[in-house]
């Protein structure tokens, strides 16, 4: 097609997309309500001048002759792009490529038989409030010994969810009918002497990006507020099989970013003037406030670590590929992980034991050994700590350094180390490109216009149009280099201890390493000490690939010598 002939708006967008620069016209086309105005004039044809302008964004430079030579081949691609846009694949459709943490050479231990964990005897607490805050391993004992029934627990937590949600805004939808039926079934089995394991009869909450048959799955975003997915996510199926009782779909920041969703902001029970962070905002808030026995959250880049830190709960981001994401909203195929958020690392291990494993619906998953309880000899565990994270005078420094002292008192010998000095910006292009692809149609059709924040995902989706395929692939090649370097670093450490100052969040999400986040600071607010509100903080234990049990065991050892995870927030 000659360059001076006009083309349709759709063809023009296709041309821009082949260059990876459709974002250059985003204000008038991609995801813009202005582009849908009746009678809008057709966009002009792509010209050499358009290519020249795009070069500055793509970081390349062509000659006038090269620009002219590109026009005809680009025009021939328009049909391909029209087909891609017309196909509008669902969020659940996976790409042909998949991320594999084993690229760097780390291999999982083959699954082995392990003795069944049996709960230690426990006595029923004296009040409902005390009962609500019991950890999973204690609830398991009370349920198995029949000192408490699943129906009693379910009704207690449902009552608390309804009461405290008026303040915390952590619930999207209750699954009350389903929960009551599950609780009655669990009690019938337990009364008959059938024990499915530590989660049998324990009530829990799901971050609302997990599909549950018969209930809305809103992804926290207004465009999906009434979405019902007629399927149960794999993790929901596995928890059903373990006898757990699903109470509620808990809030997620819109499309898994932050703590703001279409119903408002989810709040931190330790300080209700503060958001609960995100995007696993509801799970963090609900677990901290004693509204569920445990919850399942998700992380792409900090969405378990951050709300666990803010809400002073114990969160576990497993090795990439250990928990199936089938039935969960996709944000980034190569970065998304699901994991438990609980009162303790021990509880996280019990929940993880029920949900991990290979699943045909998620080809990134595998079967690997997981032993719990996992016995460790502290003197034999090679613990490193990120030296730069503990240096200087900063808020929480005393609490962070106390963690190292506790570990030393237990027999560990933490050694200083440092993260590799490799930029993560190139590898992180995956996040922008994959999220924009996952919600391509929503962005192109202006569906993001109804989202609460226009400065988060809507802007990010448009910005991602500037990412070229060449840069994306080269970023992933740099990711491989990063994986090899971190694999070499972990060859000398079983667990690395760090804080949020230099926690390697981008690095370990890119490489797929597991992280346990546990509270280590609950200080009264300086400006309102009488309020009972607290300033929270956490420490992170990062383990080797597929060494999830070792990582959890070190975090559990720390918690066995401290009581931060046993404290309760001041919310009334």
Q: Report pLDDT digits (tens) over 214-241.
A: 999 999 999 999 999 999 999 999 999 9
Residue 312 contacts residue 567 (beta carbons within 8 Å): yes
pLDDT score of 20: 39
Cα(33)–Cα(265) distance, integer angstroms: 26
On the question of pLDDT at 36 being above 50, the answer is no
Which runs of E-coded beta strand occur in 240-328? Answer: 245-250, 260-261, 264-265, 267-268, 271-275, 294-299, 314-317
pLDDT score of 165: 98
Q: Assign 45 a pLDDT band (cuts: 50, 70, 90).
A: low
On the question of pLDDT at 39 being above 90, the answer is no
The string of DSSP codes covering 125-187 is PSSHHHHHT--HHHHHHHHHTTSS-HHHHHHHHHHHHHHHHHHH--EEEE-HHHHHHHHHHHH
Q: Report pLDDT digits (tens) over 186-204.
A: 999 999 999 999 999 999 9
pLDDT score of 54: 86
* Reported CATH class of domain 104-422+473-566: alpha beta
pLDDT score of 571: 85
List the one residue out of 459, 439, 515 whose CA is nearest residue 220. 439
Q: What separation in angstroms does the CA of 109 have from each of 119, 367, 484?
A: 26, 9, 19
- So which residues are the catalytic ones? 207, 279, 303
Share of the chain above pLDDT 70, in %: 92
User: Average per-residue pLDDT in the chain?
Assistant: 91
pTM over cut 0.75 = yes
What is the sign, positive or negative, of the torsion defined by CA atoms of 356, 359, 364, 369? positive
Cα(495)–Cα(541) distance, integer angstroms: 6
Residue where the block lists tokens 């569920």: 292
On the question of pLDDT at 553 being above 60, the answer is yes
On the question of pLDDT at 467 being above 60, the answer is yes
What is the arithmetic mean of pLDDT over 332-347?
98
Task: Label the pairing between strands 245-250 and 171-174.
Answer: antiparallel
**Every domain of the chain and the residues it spans:** 1-89, 104-422+473-566
Q: Report pLDDT digits (tens) over 469-527.
A: 999 999 999 999 999 999 999 999 999 999 988 889 999 999 999 999 999 999 999 88
User: Which residues face 519 on adjacent strands?
Assistant: 538
């Amino acid at each position: 097609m000659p360059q001076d002939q006009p083309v349709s708006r759709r063809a023009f967008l296709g041309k821009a997309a082949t260059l990876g620069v459709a974002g250059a016209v985003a204000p008038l086309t991609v995801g813009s309500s202005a582009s849908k105005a009746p009678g809008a004039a057709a966009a002009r044809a792509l010209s050499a001048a358009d290519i020249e302008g795009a070069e500055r964004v793509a970081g390349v430079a062509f000659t006038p002759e090269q620009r002219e030579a590109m026009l005809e081949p680009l025009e021939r691609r328009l049909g391909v792009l029209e087909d891609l846009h017309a196909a509008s694949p669902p969020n659940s459709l996976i790409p042909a490529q998949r991320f594999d943490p084993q690229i760097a050479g780390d291999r999982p231990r083959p699954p082995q038989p392990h003795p069944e964990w049996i709960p230690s005897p426990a006595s029923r607490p004296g009040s409902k409030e005390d009962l609500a805050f019991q950890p999973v391993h204690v609830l398991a004992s009370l349920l198995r010994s029949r000192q408490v029934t699943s129906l009693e627990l379910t009704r207690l937590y449902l009552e608390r969810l309804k009461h405290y949600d008026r303040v915390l805004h952590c619930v999207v939808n209750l699954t009350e009918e389903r929960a009551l039926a599950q609780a009655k079934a669990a009690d019938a089995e337990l009364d008959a002497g059938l024990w499915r394991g530590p989660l049998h009869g324990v009530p829990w909450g799901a971050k609302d990006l997990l599909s549950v048959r018969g209930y809305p799955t809103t992804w926290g975003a207004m465009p999906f507020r009434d979405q019902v997915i007629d399927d149960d996510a794999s993790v929901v199926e596995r928890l059903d099989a373990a006898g757990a009782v699903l109470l509620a779909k808990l809030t997620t920041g819109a499309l898994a970013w932050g703590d703001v969703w279409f119903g408002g902001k989810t709040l931190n029970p330790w300080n209700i003037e503060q958001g609960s962070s995100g995007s696993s905002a509801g799970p963090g808030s609900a677990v901290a406030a004693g509204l569920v026995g445990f919850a399942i959250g998700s992380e792409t880049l900090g969405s378990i670590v951050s709300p666990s830190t803010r809400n002073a709960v114990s969160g576990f981001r497993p090795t990439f590929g250990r928990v199936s994401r089938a039935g969960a909203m996709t944000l980034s195929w190569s970065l998304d992980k699901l994991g438990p958020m609980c009162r303790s690392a021990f509880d996280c291990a019990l929940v993880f034991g029920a949900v991990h494993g290979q699943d045909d619906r998620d080809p990134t998953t595998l079967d690997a050994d997981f032993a719990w309880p996992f016995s460790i000899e502290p003197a034999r565990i090679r613990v490193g700590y990120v030296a730069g994270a503990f240096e200087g005078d900063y808020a929480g420094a005393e609490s962070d350094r106390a963690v190292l002292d506790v570990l030393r008192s237990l027999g560990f010998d933490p050694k200083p180390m440092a993260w590799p000095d490799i930029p993560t910006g190139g590898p992180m292009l995956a996040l922008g490109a994959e999220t924009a692809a996952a919600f391509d149609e929503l962005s192109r059709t202006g569906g993001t216009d109804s989202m609460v924040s226009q400065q988060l995902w809507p802007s990010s989706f448009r910005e991602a149009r500037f990412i070229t395929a060449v840069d994306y692939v080269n970023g992933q090649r740099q990711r491989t280099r990063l994986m090899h370097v971190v694999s070499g670093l972990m060859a000398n450490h079983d667990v690395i201890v760090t804080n949020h100052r230099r926690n390697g969040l981008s690095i370990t999400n890119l490489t797929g390493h597991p992280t346990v986040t546990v509270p280590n600071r609950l200080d009264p607010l300086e400006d309102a000490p009488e309020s009972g509100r607290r300033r929270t903080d956490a420490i992170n234990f990062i383990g080797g690939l597929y060494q999830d049990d070792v990582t959890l065991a070190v975090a559990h050892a720390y918690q066995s010598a401290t009581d931060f995870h046993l404290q309760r927030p001041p919310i009334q």
